[in-house]
Amino acid sequence: MNLNKANKTFIPQVNLEDRKWWVVDASDLILGRMATRVADVLRGKDKPTYTPFMDMGDFIVIINAEKIKLTGLKEEQKIYYRHSGWMGGIKETSYAKMKETYPERIIMKAVKGMLPKNKLNDKILKKLKVYKGNEHNHEAQKPEKLEI
């Protein structure tokens, strides 16, 4: 009797045809709640074949990024930081300034912070497409609406 065959671990095969395209309308959605749901779909945690060390997720297109909402006093108090790497090179940008210039980056930074900090991070983040306004150029993929 060979016990090794009975105890094999099932590892799913990644099939690119199985990936779906979803579209999310960010109008009047709370940033953090939307970002957690988007991060789960990007990783594939909503699928029964989820494997932590593989990229099993779907593609997501987010439209109307400039209409995202925050709760409490975060709209006045939230500040985004970046650093040039040089001494004294820290830069800060308020949420209001970021929203009027680069609303797509707000969502990208929120989702990126909810993904694992490993080699899959960049690969998973490439499947997220964020657009200001109501139009996107992914109609050929026939995205379905994702309810959040």
Q: Is the pLDDT of residue 2 over 70?
A: no
Cα separation of 58 and 54, whole Å?
12
The more confidently predicted of residues 141 and 7 is: 141
3-class SS string, the chain: CCHHHHCCCCCCCCCHHHCCEEEEECCCCEHHHHHHHHHHHHHCCCCCCCCCCCCCCCEEEEECHHHCECCCCHHHHCEEEEECCCCCCEEEEEHHHHHHHCHHHHHHHHHHHCCCCCCHHHHHHCCEEECCCCCCCCHHHCCEECCC
| Confidence at residue 12, expressed as pLDDT on a 0 to 100 scale | 86
- 4 pLDDT band (50/70/90 cuts)? low
Place of tokens 């980056």: 105
Per CATH, the number for 20-70+103-145 is 3.90.1180.10
Instruction: Give this prediction's pTM.
Output: 0.89
Please tell me which residue, 49 or 122, carries the higher pLDDT value.
122
pLDDT at 5: 63
Q: Residues with Cβ < 8 Å from 71, sequence gap 6 or more?
A: 30
Q: Which residues pair with 90 in a beta bridge?
A: 83
Domain boundaries, the chain: 20-70+103-145
Residue 86 class from Cβ within 10 Å (0-12 exposed, 13-18 middle, 19+ buried)?
Answer: exposed
